[in-house]
Amino acid sequence: MTKILVESRRIRNFPKSSLNFTFSFVTISLQMGDEIHLLEKSRIMNSADMERVLSRLASEIVESNQGTEDLYIVGIRRRGVPLAERLVDKIEAVEGKRPLYGIIDITLYRDDLSTVGANPIVNRTELEFDIEGKNIVLVDDVLYTGRTIRAALDQLMDFGRPRKVQLAVLIDRGREHRELPIQADFNGKLVPTKQTEIIKVMLKEYDDIEAVGIFERP
């Protein structure tokens, strides 16, 4: 799995004729200095869709955990972090109490660490509160093979023994892609995809727009 460091987008609008086409391209810069250019096939969520889904996920998390007592929302870097922050804000708005919040970086726990280069970029894990006995909800943008979540679980266990660990994702690509027995407890949207397709969750913290799209190499 390739580590994405920087992202940008280029939008091409073709002159209006009998038909008006808009093609979206994503350029992904990789740690090794290479670039991948992707063509957007379809847009499956816009910003309003994402807002509604996150509101639903926040409600489901609170209901499943019977409130915010001992609830600990943990975002997985990179795109799981802003999603986790939004869930925390939504839970606080409804319950009047802010759940515990933390961030983990799984880089050193990846099972493909040897393939990402000699000097992998490692960001700080920020778990300011003890996880012992807490109800942890891991948050990520896309559930695919399950290997990112496996790494996150390994790291969590190094910090203590939570009461339980649940998983919330914005997009689940389906069990047919899973390489490990890992499933989401809170799922924003199930999007069956082909192996050749890539789902990109675009967030204002990193991108020009808020949307989710399915991309392929042109």
Tell me the pLDDT tens digit for each residue of 85-103: 999 999 999 999 999 999 9
* pTM listed for this prediction: 0.80
First to last CA, the chain: 20
Instruction: Report the share of the chain in percent with pLDDT over 90.
Output: 66
Domain extent for 184: 53-193
Closest CA to 27 of 147, 185, 200, 144: 200
Residue 214 lies in a domain: no
Q: Which residue has the higher pLDDT, 142 or 23?
A: 142
Domain of 185: which CATH number?
3.40.50.2020
Residue 102 inside a domain? The answer is yes
Q: Which of 150, 144, 145, 147 is nearest to 201 (CA)?
A: 144
Domain for residue 61, yes or no?
yes
Q: 137-185 pLDDT, tens per residue?
A: 999 999 999 999 999 999 999 999 999 999 999 999 999 999 999 999 9
Q: Which residues of 162-185 are buried (b: 16+ CB within 10 A; e: fewer)?
A: beebbbbbbbbbeeeebeeebebb
Q: Is residue 177 part of a domain?
A: yes
25 lies in some domain: no
Residue 217 lies in a domain: no
Residue 10 within a domain: no
Q: Residues, the chain, total? A: 218
Q: Is residue 11 part of a domain?
A: no
Angle at 73 between CA 67 and CA 78, to 5 degrees: 155
Q: Is the dihedral of CA 79, 80, 82, 86 positive or negative?
A: positive
Number of domains the chain is built from? 1
